[in-house]
Structure 1
Amino acid sequence: MPGENAPAIRPFRPDDAEALGALTLAAIRETGARAYDGDQVEAWAARHTDPRRFRESAAKGDTILVCTDEADMPTAYVLMERHGHVDMLYCHPDHGGKGLAAALLARIEADARRRGIARLFAEASEIARPVFARAGFKQIHRRDFALEHAGAAVPIHNYAMAKTIGEKRED
């Protein structure tokens, strides 16, 4: 994304893991609270407390791209598994609305094309669904399910979304 206003995007480094973990929890607890209730937010957050996940994903060959600020601190990131599953897309609440998620999705799509991946897919939260839609992902269906948390099954939802990238798009 050329231009002086383009966000700084770089590959994940192992020393990013703790910052990405904190960013994820802030995004879920602050931004997620705009669409989900307190129990849902805490059940969702509880699934993202171990920053080792980022190092393990990178070691398996998953792609993690990180947006950074002027001090090279992570402000947003995307994690795409090797088969095209966009597993995580989070932006720190202090950096929302700046086009970081859109820039990350564009870069991950370009990476997927280079690797011969024909289809990207994700389970987008209520908050992320419009971001994915603007990037050309189509909603397949709403997913209603429960997360086990604090001895209870907490009902929550997200959206199965996909984008075919192996063919030329006609706009």
Structure 2
Amino acid sequence: MEYAIRRFRDEDAQALASIMGAAISYIGTHAYTQQQVDAWFARHHTPERYLERAAAGHVIFVATDPDDSPVAYTLLEADGHLDHLYCHPDHTRRGIAEKLLERSEQEARAIGCTRLYTEASDLARPAFERSGYTATHRREFEIAHGDHMVPIHNWAMEKQLA
């Protein structure tokens, strides 16, 4: 299947929220406990949040299938922070993440960023590494969920562009 990469459109907001939710709930269990996945999922974006992020100047690249339906995306902030990389479970392991990361890197260079940085899950870390990112350290933290705190981790990663 051929995938295209394009910029976010307002009508993509619901699909991106669904992609994020599906990725967390279905793929997340391959590396995290159900309790961790539930806490992570409870924090996922609403469609309105994507509209807010785009309006604030964050750049969202969307990978689409041949019908122009969103299947994956990245969200890049102006300082080089790659805040999101999510792929729908039906479209993983097809090189989409690397294509999105490449397009995000092109944009970061165009706006004058000298480095990209992110916080990658255990599941996303290999895609970032294949794209030239280096893990700087494991981040241990907690997410409030219900009446308790859930310990979880991810990886601080970066890629120098200069």
Contact 1:7/1:103, CA 8 A, preserved across alignment: no
Residue equivalent to 1:41: 37
Q: More displaced, 64-73 or 44-53? A: 44-53
CA change 1:119–1:67 in 2 (3 A) is same
Residue equivalent to 2:143: 147
Contact 2:2/2:65, CA 8 A, preserved across alignment: no
- Cα deviation for residue 6 of structure 1 reads 5.7
Residue equivalent to 1:96: 92
1:90 match: secondary structure: strand
Contact 2:82/2:116, CA 8 A, preserved across alignment: yes
2:90 match: secondary structure: helix
- Aligned partners of 1:49, 1:85: CA distance in 2, in Å? 17
CA change 1:111–1:126 in 2 (3 A) is same
Matched, 1:76 2:101: no
Identify unmatched segments of 5+ residues in structure 1.
167-171
- Aligned partners of 2:20, 2:2: CA distance in 1, in Å? 22
TM-score (norm 1): 0.92
Which deviations, in whole Å up to 9, do the C-alpha atoms of 1:116-162 show, x marking residues without a partner? 10010000001001111111111010001100001110000000000
Pairs aligned (count): 162
TM-score (norm 2): 0.97
- Aligned partners of 2:148, 2:68: CA distance in 1, in Å? 40
Identify unmatched segments of 5+ residues in structure 2.
none
Contact 1:141/1:161, CA 8 A, preserved across alignment: yes
- Cα deviation for residue 70 of structure 1 reads 1.4
The amino acid of 2:100's aligned partner reads L
Contact 1:67/1:77, CA 8 A, preserved across alignment: yes
Contact 2:75/2:83, CA 8 A, preserved across alignment: yes
- Aligned partners of 2:50, 2:100: CA distance in 1, in Å? 16
- The within-5 A match list for 1:61-72 is 61-72=57-68
Q: CA RMSD in A?
A: 1.0
Contact 2:137/2:155, CA 8 A, preserved across alignment: yes
Residue equivalent to 2:14: 18
- Aligned partners of 1:130, 1:8: CA distance in 2, in Å? 22
2:129 match: secondary structure: helix
Contact 1:64/1:78, CA 8 A, preserved across alignment: yes
Give 4+ residue runs of structure 1 displaced > 6 Å after superposition. none
Residue equivalent to 1:159: 155
Contact 1:120/1:163, CA 8 A, preserved across alignment: yes
